Structure 1
Amino acid sequence: MLDKILYNTVLCQTFSPCGKYLVAGNIYGQLAVFDLDCILNPNTELLTPGYNSPKHIHKIESSSQICSLASTDRFLIVGSVNEIYGWTWKAILNSKLSKPSWTIKIKSESFIEQCDINCLWLSEDSEKLYAGCGDNKVYVFNLEDGSLMQTLAGHENYVHCIHGHDRQLISAGEDGLVLLWDIRTGKAQNEIEPHKNSKVARPDIGKWVGAAALGDDWIVCGGGPRLALWHLRSLDAVTVFDIPDHGIHIASFLDDCILAGGTAKHLYQLTYSGDIRVELPVSSTTVYSAIVRTNPNKVLAIAGSSPDIDLCTTFNYRDQVLHFR
């Protein structure tokens, strides 16, 4: 019988508040906890062959895939299927996982039975949790009591990603829409349909948008359409990035550049003008998660359709490979 973990796909990652641990979630309902202190600063005299393997692997009770992760100072937040769980970090770092401290059930108004919580984003004050879901909606929850505060309805197919900045929220979905929301009113103010723009459209890959992020004056997004930088006010595509990919799943702003990846052999760091600054080889054939930590030191963790997670401390090359198995 084949070992299914060899065909592992890691959909999401997050760092602990102290920055010393990395947690990754996979399609088998498992949470892997890696001790970054031991991995990045190993004692060579005590080094064992499994030093780059998880300290713990927890399995959630439902065994549903782990679609998304987020972190507050106190809780690890886990988005699965139909439910969002919260565990204290103390519980996550124990060898045996207890029951979650709290659970939020997604009560979808649609007829779908399985509603994936594809993406999570915390407000800057960590008081509100935004969840982009498989029923085409974005839900806003009060983390104090778990109550539903708003439902953002505007997508016609499931939501792939959400990101917020300066009282605005951006969402992107399978329907090819990129929506800009006013967080205060819960209303969509503007929209982009990249697949209708001849500069970025790729009909052979599809109209879906897998990643979108907001900056001070810019939007970066891509998916089936090519990765592009859009001006926030004019909503014009200013830069179209010429990278060899077959679909974008990761796009974010990192310092003075753009971090992007997907179905490609590399994770890219790109200038706003379109130049490739870093072309970083990755273990996965498709990257679904790339997260950055700056304290206590800089770390970039890259995961996707592989049991291996790439760890980079300079952001220019791969220092370590972690094994989720």
Structure 2
Amino acid sequence: MEVDNNKYIDHLRSYYTTVLSQIITNDGRFLLAAIKNRQLAVFSVEKCLKEFHRDVVELIPNNNGDDLVSNFLSHQNRRRPINVFPMERITCLHSMQTANKMKTFHSDSQYRFIVGGVGRLKTYRLSMQNLDECEQEWMIKLPSDSTMINAITMAGENRIVAGCEDANIYTFDCETQQQTAKFSEHNDYIHSLKCSNHDSASPLLYSCGEDGRILGWDYRSSNKPIISLEPFRNPELRRTQYGKWIGSIDVTDNNEWIVCGGGPKLSLWHLRSAKCAHIIDTPGVVYSTRFIADNSKVMAAGTANQVIIWQLNDPMNPQHIDSSINTIYSIGYHHYDKFDYDLYSFSGDSYQIEVCKNAKFIDWKLYVS
């Protein structure tokens, strides 16, 4: 029997696929996934919602009878990408505000997002009017061409922040693409960044890294941290077998609470007192954490084929979602205001992206390859 080597290699490649980062667009219609083999995959979340949940069908308009997405999808392929764009090496993604700021399903939306790689940041625009094109808008070069970007966030509306493997954090002006600041208090590479609500009285930038430190910065006026936490020094959190690194952080909009995970146990800290308020002993390390549901819950994932959810008002009874992904690197979340509906997505060292709507079990899967 003759074997088609190309088909065999494509089949084998699917088991070595890794999704490094993923985002759900601001209107909830699409999911963008950064694949380790230098590709960007675009999925239609809207189509999956219509297919799997009848209660949503009537709540999403048909775009005046002209459904652009249906031109790219057959019934059998709704869980595969609409399109896959070749890219330079991608390490992380971050969404920028859509041209249409209303969280509705309109065909004239334009999606802008930031791609982090090695030595450079790029912004792209994907238009609903032309789903087969992903247009680069501009590029920012880092001081070194070999510096890998591990994390991206936005500080306010016009600052892009990049956390890098050289242990530095750089900020850039969106309009001029010029570097505006550099933060250098970490002594090992950066894993995660988070900026609190820029509409608050005192917006802060938070960072964490391989050195095990969590630092908070007033990015508007100083390049010295005003907050410093070291979870690995807490005997109740320390896990020497995993190390002291902090892989992910998230902060409530009011700068009251921060959740962090990595080598030490998953923990919740009160920022004003700098005290650890609660600990969740996860079975493995944590690579992704985030507050969800108006900051009333925490969701975290990493190794051990498990997503953990716990409510801040009931931290002693965490819930678990079983996952087929061995290591989850990214959690996507979107709340649909129009019909009070939450959607979650998980990706990592798998060719599948898992999606659920009830935070209890996986409802369906998207296939990268």
Q: Same fold (TM over 0.5)?
A: yes
User: How many angstroms apart in 1 are the aligned matches of 2:315 and 2:27?
Assistant: 35
Kept after mapping to 2: 8 A contact 1:17/1:72: yes
Q: 1:173-229, CA deviations, whole angstroms, 9 ceiling, x for partnerless residues?
A: 011111111122232012111111101011110111001122232111110011111
- Identify the residue that residue 176 of structure 1 maps to in structure 2: 212
Matched residue SS, 1:4: helix
- Identify the residue that residue 249 of structure 1 maps to in structure 2: 287
Matched, 1:121 2:148: no
Choose from 8, 23, 34 the match for 2:43: 34
- Identify the residue that residue 103 of structure 1 maps to in structure 2: 139
- Identify the residue that residue 265 of structure 1 maps to in structure 2: 305
TM-score, normalised to structure 1, is 0.90
Letter in 2 for 1:259: M
Choose from 24, 29, 35 the match for 1:20: 29
User: How many angstroms apart in 1 are the aligned matches of 2:150 and 2:93?
Assistant: 6
| More displaced 10-residue stretch of structure 1: 270-279 or 132-141 | 270-279
Matched, 1:65 2:90: yes
- Identify the residue that residue 168 of structure 2 maps to in structure 1: 137
Q: How many Å apart are 1:119 and its aligned residue?
A: 1.0
* Residue ranges of structure 2 left out of the alignment (5+ in a row): 1-7, 55-72, 100-111
After TM superposition, where is structure 1 displaced by more than 4 Å over at least 4 residues in a row? none
Matched residue SS, 1:157: coil
Letter in 2 for 1:266: Q
Letter in 1 for 2:291: F
Q: How many Å apart are 1:309 and its aligned residue?
A: 0.4
Choose from 193, 199, 202 the match for 2:236: 199
Matched residue SS, 1:275: strand
Q: How many Å apart are 1:143 and its aligned residue?
A: 1.0
Matched, 1:222 2:250: no
Q: How many Å apart are 1:92 and its aligned residue?
A: 10
Letter in 2 for 1:175: D
Report the count of equivalent residues.
315
Bigger proportion of residues as helix: 2
Q: 1:60-88, CA deviations, whole angstroms, 9 ceiling, x for partnerless residues?
A: 1x3x1333333322512111111111111
User: How many angstroms apart in 2 are the aligned matches of 1:80 and 1:143?
Assistant: 17
User: How many angstroms apart in 1 are the aligned matches of 2:96 and 2:301?
Assistant: 23
Letter in 2 for 1:264: A
Choose from 257, 279, 295 the match for 1:240: 279
- Identify the residue that residue 64 of structure 2 maps to in structure 1: none
When the two chains are superposed, the root-mean-square deviation of aligned CA atoms in Å is: 2.1
Matched residue SS, 1:89: strand
- Identify the residue that residue 283 of structure 1 maps to in structure 2: 324
- Identify the residue that residue 346 of structure 2 maps to in structure 1: 302
User: How many angstroms apart in 2 are the aligned matches of 1:145 and 1:92?
Assistant: 28
Matches within 5 A, 1:144-155: 144-155=175-186
Matched residue SS, 2:95: strand
Letter in 2 for 1:183: Y
TM-score, normalised to structure 2, is 0.80
Matched residue SS, 1:28: coil
Matched residue SS, 2:315: coil
Q: How many Å apart are 1:4 and its aligned residue?
A: 2.4
The percent identity for this pair of structures is 28
Give the greater-gyration-radius structure (CA): 2
Q: How many Å apart are 1:50 and its aligned residue?
A: 2.0
Q: How many Å apart are 1:6 and its aligned residue?
A: 2.4
Kept after mapping to 2: 8 A contact 1:200/1:225: yes
Change in CA separation of 1:94 and 1:192 when aligned onto 2, cut-off 3 Å: same
Kept after mapping to 2: 8 A contact 1:9/1:26: yes
Change in CA separation of 1:301 and 1:269 when aligned onto 2, cut-off 3 Å: same
- Identify the residue that residue 75 of structure 2 maps to in structure 1: 48
* Residue ranges of structure 1 left out of the alignment (5+ in a row): none
User: How many angstroms apart in 1 are the aligned matches of 2:367 and 2:317?
Assistant: 29
Change in CA separation of 1:118 and 1:279 when aligned onto 2, cut-off 3 Å: same
Letter in 1 for 2:14: I
Kept after mapping to 1: 8 A contact 2:126/2:134: no
